[in-house]
Amino acid sequence: MFDALTDRLGGIFDGLTGRGALSEKDVTSALREIRVALLEADVALPVVKDFIGKIKERAVGEEVIRSVKPGQQVIKIVHDGLVDMLGGENAETGLRVDNPPSVIMMAGLQGSGKTTTTAKIAKRLAERDKKKVLLASLDVRRPAAMEQLAILAKQVGGSVTSLPIVEGQMPAEIARRALQAAKLGGHDVVFLDTAGRTSIDEQMMAEAAEIAKIAQPKETLLVADALTGQDAVETARRFHERLPLTGLVLTRMDGDGRGGAALSMRAVTGLPIKFLGTGEKLDGLDAFEAKRVAGRILGQGDIVSLVEKAGDQLDAEKAERMAKKMRKGEFDLNDLADQLKQMQKMGGLGGIMGMLPGAKKAKQALAAANMDDSVLKRQEAIISSMTKKERAKPALLNASRRKRIAAGAGVDVQEVNKVLKMHRQMADMMKKLGKGGMKGMMNALGGAGVSPADIAKMGKGAALPGGGMPGLGGGMPPGGLPGLGGGKKK
Sign of CA dihedral 31, 37, 41, 45: positive
Task: Give the neighbor-by-neighbor strand order of the sheet with 133-137.
Answer: 160-162, 133-137, 189-193, 102-108, 219-225, 247-251, 273-277, 285-287
pLDDT digits (tens, 9 = 90+) for 142-195: 889 999 999 999 999 989 999 999 988 999 999 999 999 999 999 999 999 999
Give the three-state DSSP class for 283: coil
- Pairwise pLDDT comparison (435 vs 293), residue with the higher score: 293
pLDDT of residue 460: 38
Going by C-alpha positions, the residue among 81, 10, 16, 19 that lies closest to residue 357 is 10
Contact 260, 225 (CB under 8 A): no
In angstroms, rounded to a whole number, what is the distance separating the alpha carbons of residues 114 and 118? 6
Q: How many CB atoms neighbour CB 362 within 10 A?
A: 26
Region 342-347: what's the mean pLDDT? 74
Return the H-helix or E-strand segment holding 116: helix 114-128
Tell if the pTM clears 0.85, that is, is over it.
no
Give the three-state DSSP class for 180: helix
Identify the top-confidence range among 51-65, 234-248, 249-263, 307-321.
234-248
pLDDT of residue 475: 37
pLDDT at 375 over 60: yes
Q: Which residues are annotated as a binding site?
A: 108-115, 193-197, 251-254
Q: How many CB atoms neighbour CB 400 within 10 A?
A: 8
Beta strands in 396-443 (DSSP E): none
pLDDT of residue 66: 60
Q: Which amino acid is at 51?
A: F
Contact 177, 169 (CB under 8 A): yes
Region 222-230: what's the mean pLDDT? 86
* 250 phi and psi angles, rounded to 5 deg: -100, 125
Contact 16, 26 (CB under 8 A): yes
Going by C-alpha positions, the residue among 296, 277, 418, 422 that lies closest to residue 362 is 296
* 102 phi and psi angles, rounded to 5 deg: -80, 130
Beta bridge partners of 43: none
Give the three-state DSSP class for 106: strand
In angstroms, rounded to a whole number, what is the distance separating the alpha carbons of residues 448 and 468? 12
Contact 335, 280 (CB under 8 A): no
In angstroms, rounded to a whole number, what is the distance separating the alpha carbons of residues 214 and 239? 18
Environment class of residue 440 by beta-carbon count within 10 Å: exposed (0-12), middle (13-18) or buried (19+)?
A: middle
Environment class of residue 55 by beta-carbon count within 10 Å: exposed (0-12), middle (13-18) or buried (19+)?
A: buried
pLDDT of residue 313: 62
Sign of CA dihedral 266, 271, 274, 279: negative
Give the three-state DSSP class for 194: coil
In angstroms, rounded to a whole number, what is the distance separating the alpha carbons of residues 338 and 314? 11
pLDDT of residue 120: 95
Contact 331, 434 (CB under 8 A): no
pLDDT at 49 over 60: yes
Residue 454 — very low, low, confident or very high, per pLDDT cuts 50/70/90?
A: very low
**Can the peptide bond before residue 470 be classed as cis, meaning omega within 30 degrees of 0?**
yes
Region 130-138: what's the mean pLDDT? 95
In angstroms, rounded to a whole number, what is the distance separating the alpha carbons of residues 168 and 162? 17
Q: Which residues are annotated as a binding site for GTP?
A: 108-115, 193-197, 251-254
Beta bridge partners of 190: 103, 134
- Pairwise pLDDT comparison (419 vs 328), residue with the higher score: 419
